[in-house]
Structures are given as C-alpha cells and as structure tokens.
Amino acid sequence: MTYIIPVAPPASVPVADTDSRFPIRRVFCIGKNYSDHVREMGGDPTREEPLFFIKPADSVVGPGGAVPYPPHTENLHFEVELVVAIGRDVDVNAGLERVVDAVLGYGIGVDLTRRDMQSEAKKRGRPWDMSKSFDASALCSSLHLADSVGHPERGEIGLDLDSEPRQRGDISQMVWSIPEMLIALNSLFPLKAGDLLYTGTPSGVGPVTRGQTLEVWADGIAREAWTLS
Ligand code: MN
C-alpha cells in the first residue's frame, strides 16, 4: 500500500531520562477545572458536567520548540496546565483502576487561547475551536513517567511571565480530579495510547506578547519555558 501524499510524522514530545519520544495521537483539554479560575472568568464554580474540548495533535509544541504569536488575536492568553499522557488503550467500560493504570506519565504545559475570539464565541453561543485549537496552541514539556513521579494529587502549579509571578495554584484545587476526568472522558472517547489530557488552569491567566517568556512548573513533576516569537 502506498499513500498518495507523504505521511507526516506524528507530533511527539520527549520522555525525560530516556531516549524515547511519546507519539501524540489526540489532545483533550478540560475547561473550568479550578474554582478560582472559574470565578475570575465570571462563572459559577459549582460542579457541572466536565467541559472538554480538543486540539489537533500537531498543535503541540515540545520543549525548545518555536511558539509564533498566532494571527487573528490581540489578546493571546496563557493557561498553565498539568498534562496527563495515556500509555495504553482503555476499554469504554473500564473502571477507575484500569483508567489510572493507563496513565504513562505527566508533563507541564500551556493551553494558549485567543481570549478575544473566545469571549466573542461565548457571547454568540458559538464553538470554541478557532479560539483554542490553532497551530502551536498546546505547549508541553518532556513527560515524566508515573513510575518515577507517581500520580500527583497535590503540589504547586505555577507560571511566571518574564520572571514575574502570574499563576499560582495547587493540583489539589481541581474541580474534577485526574481519575474523575479520565473516567468522564473515557465514556465519551475511549482513551488511546498517545492521548494527552490538559487538566485545566488555576487563576491568574493573562496576556502574553511577542518576545515574552513563559516559565511553568508543577512541583515534583516538571518545569519548562518557552519564548514567543
Ligand atoms: Mn485551559
């Protein structure tokens, strides 16, 4: 069998302390998953159905990758997020243990958002895709295997913009815990090896412009930085 056009190599991110890379299959994200961030966006943090959206696999920028400022926005926002990497396929009816067992590791990332476009979409009841799913919109560090970092339930998550503190939160403040998110997502889209899940952002989101550096971390897991061009 041959393909009529060249097949693009899969997007991938490095796996820390190994020579391997993690091939990315799909990128899932959750909105409104830290109550202080829901409040800062003018929402009500009572627990409702988790709000998932998707970015293309090739929107992921790994460590050291270029992050061009995207077109069609005057208000590009950063959102630091813990990233969960799925290492094996999961059956749609899998229970908690099987789902957690499918987690290969964790990274730290940024969900870049055209906030002006998203605000307009919300106002008009339109989909979020164009505000969330553009090229280079999903920054992701190297992945750290669960075998070495465990399955984090607490720990600081943060973002500095040009060395100024901007976002500070704790993984324990998630509205939906990581296992709860994975169960909910698995019932909609059975998880596959290669999937990433961006787990939502704490408060303090704000704009980033060309030439500025985002430094992000999750304590005990990963730290990474990108500069916009
Ligand atoms: Mn987000």
Of the pLDDT bands very low, low, confident and very high (cuts 50, 70, 90), residue 175 is very high
**Is 86 within the bounds of a domain?**
yes
What tens digit of pLDDT does each residue of 125-144 get? 999 999 999 999 999 999 99
Q: How far apart are CA 179 and CA 188, in angstroms?
A: 15
Residue 19 CA, ligand 1 centroid: distance in Å: 30
- Which pLDDT score, from 0 to 100, does residue 169 have? 97
Domain membership of residue 154 as a residue range: 23-227
> Which residue's entry shows tokens 């605000």?
119
Query: Can you give the pLDDT at residue 72?
Result: 97
Report how far ligand 1's centroid is from the alpha carbon of 196 (Å).
13
Which percentage of the chain shows pLDDT scores above 90?
Answer: 91
pLDDT value of position 46: 77
Give me ligand 1 centre to Cα 75, in Å. Answer: 15
Say if 33 falls within a structural domain: yes
Supply 62's token pair. 């790994």
Residue 199, pLDDT > 80, answer yes
CATH number at residue 99: 3.90.850.10
Type and span of the H or E element at 61? strand 60-61
48 Cα–ligand 1 center, Å: 16
Question: Is 7 within the bounds of a domain?
Answer: no
Residue 93, in any domain of the structure: yes
Lowest mean pLDDT among 96-100, 196-200, 223-227: 96-100
Which amino acid, 113? T
C-alpha 33 to ligand 1 mean position (Å): 8
Residue 64 located in a structural domain: yes
Residue 46 tokens, joined: 């009572």
Q: What Å distances lie between residue 44 and 34, 40, 127, 185, CA to CA?
A: 11, 10, 20, 22
In sequence order, the 6+-apart residues with CB closer than 8 A to the CB of 107 are: 13, 82, 83, 85, 140, 141, 142, 143, 144, 221, 222, 224
Average pLDDT over the chain reads 96
Residue at 18 is within a domain: no
In a domain, 6, yes or no: no
- Ligand 1 centroid from CA 30, angstroms: 6
pLDDT tens column, 64-123: 989 999 999 999 999 999 999 999 999 999 999 999 999 999 999 999 999 999 999 999
CA distance 189 to 184: 9
Q: How far is the CA of 94 from the centre of ligand 1 (A)?
A: 26
Q: List, for residues 11-66, the tens digit of each pLDDT value.
A: 999 999 999 999 999 999 999 999 888 888 888 877 788 999 999 999 999 999 89
Q: How far is the CA of 31 from the centre of ligand 1 (A)?
A: 5
- Write the single-letter amino acid at 203: S
Residue 133 CA to ligand 1 centre (angstroms): 11
Residue 105 lies in a domain: yes
Domains contained in the chain, number: 1
Distance between CA atoms of residues 19 and 61, nearest Å: 18
pLDDT of residue 43: 83
Distance 137 CA to ligand 1 centre (A): 10
In angstroms, what is the span from residue 3 Cα to ligand 1's centroid? 36
